[in-house]
Homo-oligomer: A and B are copies of this chain.
Amino acid sequence: MLHSDDMDFLTKYLPLLAKLSETDRAAILASGVRASFEKGTAILDRERECNGLIVVKSGQLRASFNLQDGKELTLYRLLAGDICILSASCVLKNITFEITLEAERDSHVYFIPAVVWAELSGRNPEAKQFTMDLVSERFSEVMWVVEQMATKNMGQRVAAFLLEQSVLDGTEQLSITHDIIAKNLGTAREVVSRVLKYMENDGLLSLSRGKISLMQMKKLREMNH
């Protein structure tokens, strides 16, 4: 059950809500859910699939693809105002893969149940178009990941990941384990540890338990040019 200030937030990022009939808006208010997730918890996993449309109110979510061998690969991040459509993949015929959503920071999110969204986009061309635009946007983001995987070596990918993390966290002193980096890049921890050790020997960064300090930002950036 949502309130009118929730609806104000949602309408900002889902402008089509403003054009719905009173009945449709009431259905979303009545069925919508607001939930909080602590850093590190799963919002969506294999067992809890198809929650519906997820709109991030605050915090940061990580969407990852579950690989068959138990590894994961980060596809994209969701920040305040971002909307996850693949969390409503049961609405999308032909989407046969599953993603996992995890809170990377303490996060507040809205859920619009899959059945409600499916019913709405079944009869409202704008909602259907919105769904398609979102799927296309995620598809394009995934192609960027594909490009990285095909053209960059693991050193370049680790450097790009650390720089992105540094922007997200607003610091060059990262609190992150080798295991988490490996999960983000869909590779093994040993591979990441080896790459980081090389980078430490080159003076690009400094490693300590659970921490990575980026020492030479310019050189790290140049690795991908």
Q: Which residues of B contact A146 (CB under 8 A)?
A: 65, 73, 142, 145-146, 149
Contact A132 B128 (CB under 8 A): yes
Contact of A97 among B97, B135, B140 (CB under 8 A): B140
Q: Confirm or deny: A167 has a beta carbon within 8 angstroms of a beta carbon on chain B.
A: no
Contact B133 A136 (CB under 8 A): no
**Residues of chain A from 57 to 82 with CB closer than 8 A to chain B in the complex:** 65, 67-69, 71, 73
Q: Confirm or deny: A208 has a beta carbon within 8 angstroms of a beta carbon on chain B.
A: no
Q: Which residues of B contact A137 (CB under 8 A)?
A: 94
Q: Which residues of B contact A65 (CB under 8 A)?
A: 143, 146-147
Give 1 or 0 for each of A127-154: 1 = CB within 8 Å of chain B CB: 0110111111111101111110111000
Q: Which residues of B contact A145 (CB under 8 A)?
A: 146
- From residue A98, how far is it (CB to closest CB) to chain B in Å? 9
Given A149-B150, A150-B67: A95 and B128 interface contact (C-beta under 8 Å): no
State the number of copies, please. 2
- From residue A149, how far is it (CB to closest CB) to chain B in Å? 5
Q: Which residues of B contact A131 (CB under 8 A)?
A: 132
- Bound-complex Cα distance A143 to B133 (A): 18
Contact B67 A136 (CB under 8 A): no
Given A131-B132, A132-B135, A146-B146: A151 and B94 interface contact (C-beta under 8 Å): no
Q: Which residues of B contact A67 (CB under 8 A)?
A: 147, 150-151
Contact B139 A135 (CB under 8 A): yes
Q: Which residues of B contact A133 (CB under 8 A)?
A: 93-94
- From residue A115, how far is it (CB to closest CB) to chain B in Å? 17
Name 6 extra pairs, CB < 8 A, besides A65-B143, A94-B136, A94-B139.
A65-B146, A73-B146, A125-B128, A149-B149, A150-B186, A150-B187
6 closest cross-chain pairs (CB), A and B? A94-B136, A150-B186, A94-B137, A97-B143, A96-B140, A132-B132
